[in-house]
Amino acid sequence: MTTFGDQVFEYGGAPVGSGRYSSPFATHYFVDNDNGTAGASGTSPTKAFDTLTNALVKAGKEDVIYVRAKGAKDDASDYNYIEEGAQVTIAYAKELLTIIGVTPHRRNPYMGVWFQHGANAAETGYVILNYAPGLCLENLGFSAKDYIRTSYGAVSMYGGPYATYAGSVGFSVYNCFFRDGQLNVTGGYDSCTSGCTFKASGSANSGWWSTSNTYPTGGHQVINSHFGEMFADNQALRFIYCVAGAQKDMLFKGLSFGAVPADAHYMWFGGSNTGLVTDCHFQHAQVSTGTNDTTDELYSADGGVIFAGIYDGSTFIVT
């Protein structure tokens, strides 16, 4: 840690309290899958934990966990995944926790910190299941393997009964990469997903999915992110999918989308959903908007979501 004038700088070169990393009041933990050990203190890079799961045993409210990427494999055609061996669960009491991959960007899938399930096909659940409100994920990659990607997804921000599970409240996901499987949101409000990339390697879904519950839902934002091409001709495939109950004041802005199959949707909004889709670009021309679940690629069941400033492949504005 160094000082320059009245600014204090720490790991990564960012000013403490700048919003890039947390304040100096937090305890900082480190994960190094190649060189760390389960019984380490985890409080410095040379005393790192071997897994995120072990770091979460020690980390608590408002703490920060830095995760180092695995070393390069001999075969560069595969990703350097960190396999935790089971679903990683973040407890409710760890509110305002921050998990950061130390690689500075997530635009290239062969670089940085990647999490996926272990190799056991019997495993179920998400790669990460979060119950803690205010969780921040940054510079991380996630991949749900074949046997879980459609039933579960990659990451779940779970907002069941808010007395115990409020993981969908106030979370933030920055500069992350979802190779397969969705970022699933259950209820909650006032989250931000920004600068992320969603891509599928085959017929699976990959995108941002939200479902309401009996608690307030709304104010979620998905901005400045990219959704890659879909491959399967399957109506159930949706990049943005908001369903089940009233979801209010949603914002989708500055998004770009690859090609979508003829029977699929770019965006699908159920009844009683309200919000704005604006400044978005779609790869092919003549994108249709409306309330027809079969033909409209931008679908709002009752017209409650406004599509404005939408650009298709011919640069026409869809109104």
| Rounded Cα–Cα distance for residues 23 and 182 (Å) | 30
Contact 32, 44 (CB under 8 A): no
| Rounded Cα–Cα distance for residues 135 and 191 (Å) | 10
Mean pLDDT of 204-229: 87
Q: Which of 29-33, 148-152, 260-264 has the lowest mean pLDDT?
A: 148-152
Count the neighbouring beta carbons within 10 Å of the beta carbon of residue 251: 16
Mean pLDDT of 207-224: 89
Mean pLDDT of 72-91: 75
Q: How wide is the angle at C-alpha 283 spanned by C-alphas 138 and 174, nearest 5°? A: 5
Q: pLDDT by residue (tens digit) across 50-62?
A: 999 999 999 999 9
User: Which of 263, 198, 197 shows the shortest CA–CA distance to 232?
Assistant: 263
**pLDDT confidence of residue 13:** 39
**pLDDT interval class at 188 (50, 70, 90):** very high
Please name the residue that has the structure tokens 């409650």: 304
Mean pLDDT of 211-237: 80
| Rounded Cα–Cα distance for residues 52 and 89 (Å) | 10
State how beta strands 208-211 and 298-300 pair: unpaired
**pLDDT confidence of residue 148:** 53
| Rounded Cα–Cα distance for residues 199 and 143 (Å) | 10
pLDDT over 60 (residue 96): yes
| Rounded Cα–Cα distance for residues 295 and 291 (Å) | 9
**pLDDT confidence of residue 4:** 33
State how beta strands 128-130 and 188-189 pair: unpaired
Contact 126, 156 (CB under 8 A): yes
pLDDT over 80 (residue 213): no
Tell me, yes or no, if the pTM score tops 0.85.
Answer: yes
CA dist list (Å): 163 to 160, 169, 215, 305: 9, 12, 11, 30
**pLDDT confidence of residue 297:** 86
Q: Which of 14-18, 88-92, 159-163, 286-290 has the lowest mean pLDDT?
A: 14-18
**pLDDT interval class at 316 (50, 70, 90):** low
| Rounded Cα–Cα distance for residues 204 and 151 (Å) | 10
Higher per-residue pLDDT: 254 or 234: 254
Instruction: Annotate the chain with three-state secondary structure.
Output: CEEECCEEECCCCCECCCCCCCCCCCCEEEEECCCCCCCCCCCCHHHCECCHHHHHHHCCCCCEEEEECCCCCCCCCCCCEEECCCCEEECCCCCCCEEEECCCCCCCCCCCEEEECCCCCCCCCCCEEECCCCCEEECEEEECCCCCCCCCCCEEEECCCCCCCCCCCCCEEECCEEEECCEEEECEECCEEECCEECCCCCCCCCEEEECCCCCEECCEEECCEECCCCCCCCCCEEEEEECCCCECEEEECCEECCCCCCCEEEEECCCCCEEEEEEEECCCCCCEECCCCCCCEEECCCCEEEEEEECCCCCEEC
pLDDT over 90 (residue 271): no
pLDDT over 90 (residue 143): no
Task: Give the largest CA-CA distance in the chain.
Answer: 61
Ranked by mean pLDDT, which of 117-121, 127-131, 209-213 comes out on top? 127-131
